[in-house]
Amino acid sequence: MTADLNAVRLEAALYFQRNPFARETPESLALRLGRPETLVEPALGQLVELQVLERRGRLYRYCRPYVA
């Protein structure tokens, strides 16, 4: 399951990087990625912890990296 979670985390990060203005719920992203929501939701949580994504309610969005 760890390998699957890592793969989903990477797919989610790449999706949001390619679509920086997207706002997705775990359900909608699971449909887009063709992955089970049971893997997508924890992957999104990890990306929030890493400050790659921001969560507002049920919506997740990409956090642009700060470049000085």
Q: Tell me, what's the pLDDT at 2?
A: 87
Say which CATH number the domain at 17 has. Answer: 1.10.10.10
What predicted TM-score, i.e. pTM, was given to this entire model? Answer: 0.91
Structural domain count of the chain: 1
In a domain, 11, yes or no: yes
Mean pLDDT of the 41-55 span: 97
In a domain, 54, yes or no: yes
Q: Tell me, what's the pLDDT at 4?
A: 95
Buried b (16+ CB within 10 A) or exposed e, 43-58: bbebbeeeebbeeeee
The band of 58, judged by pLDDT with boundaries at 50, 70 and 90, is very high
Segments forming the whole domain that contains residue 22: 2-62
Q: Tell me, what's the pLDDT at 30?
A: 98
Rounded to whole angstroms, the Cα distance separating 33 from 51 reads 21
In a domain, 53, yes or no: yes
In a domain, 67, yes or no: no
Mean pLDDT of the 22-38 span: 98
**63 near 54, Cβ under 8 Å?**
yes
